[in-house]
Copies of this chain bind each other. A is one copy, B any other.
Amino acid sequence: MATGRTHRPATRSRGIPEATVARLPLYLRALTALSERSVPTVSSEELAAAAGVNSAKLRKDFSYLGSYGTRGVGYDVEYLVYQISRELGLTQDWPVVIVGIGNLGAALAGYGGFASRGFRVAALIDADPAMTGKPVAGIPVQHSDDLEKIINEDGVSIGVIATPAGVAQQVCDRLVAAGVTSILNFAPTVLSVPDGVDVRKVDLSIELQILAFHEQRKAGEETSAEEGPDAGAEPEAAAVAPPAPRGATGSTGRKGPDGDVPAVMPA
C-alpha cells in the first residue's frame, strides 16, 4: 500500500514471514483469553480453533518463533503469551498519537484495546482550534500546530491518521518529518512515505466493496454451488449490466467535499 514504498518488499524480516506476523496478534488474543480463564496449556488444535485458523498453519507459524511446545501435551499458555508479546514488541509500551479527532478519532481514542496491549495514547491532535483543550476519552485535545513538539517530547514513533482524506498526506508528511516511522491510516487515500516508514491502512469502503463482490457472486451463482470441474470459457456473471457503454468520456463530474469521492454507476 502507499505509493512510495510501503509494505517493505524487504520481507521475511528476521525470518518470520509477514503472513505469520499478521496472525500473531490473533494468537495472542486467544491465548490471553485462555490465560484469564487460567487454562495452563493448549493444543495447537484448540488454540487454532480459538484463533480461527487451522492447526497446521498455527504450528508452522509457531515454528518460526522457536520450539515452544511440548510434544504430547501442547503449549504452555503463559509462556506463549510472553513469547509472542516479546516477538511483537509489546513488552515495551508504545506511545501513539491520534491525529484528527472527529467521530472516528474519538472512537479510536476511547478504544479499550488501546490502553492495554502495549499501546498508550500519548496525545490527541486536531486542527480545529475549537477542539483544543477539550477532553476526549479523558485526554485533552492538542492543536496540530504543536504536532512536531508533541512527537518529539514523547518520543512517539507510531501515528494514527483519522483525518479527512484531503489532509491525510500532509499530516502524514509532518508526522514522518517529526520522526514517526509507523503509520496507521484510516483516511481513504494512498499515502506516500519514504523508505523505512511503514504504513498500514484500514479502509471501510474497501472492505465493503470486497464483501459486495462476493455477495454479488453468491446471488449470481445460486445454482452450480460446487464449482464446475472445468470452469468453462467465459461465463458472464449475473445478468445485471448492459453490454458496454464505451467512450462516455468525462461528464460525471460532481466534486465531493473532500479530495476523495465516489460516484459509481452508469447503468
Contacts and interface: CB of A to CB of B under 8 A. Distances in A.
Say how many copies of this protein the assembly contains: 2
A211 B205 contact: no
Contact of A241 (B21, B91, B112, B209): B91
B210 A25 contact: yes
Given A35-B252, A158-B215, A254-B36, A204 B111 contact: yes
A223 interface: no
Contacts of A39: 250
Interface in A72-99: 76-79, 81-83, 85-92, 94, 96
Contact of A184 (B78, B111, B211): B211
B116 A38 contact: no
Interface of A: 1-3, 6, 8, 10, 13-15, 21-22, 24-26, 28-30, 32-33, 35-36, 38-40, 49-52, 66, 76-79, 81-83, 85-92, 94, 96, 102-104, 106-108, 110-114, 116-119, 157-158, 181-184, 188, 190, 192, 196, 198, 200, 202-218, 227, 231, 234-235, 237-238, 240-241, 244-250, 252-267
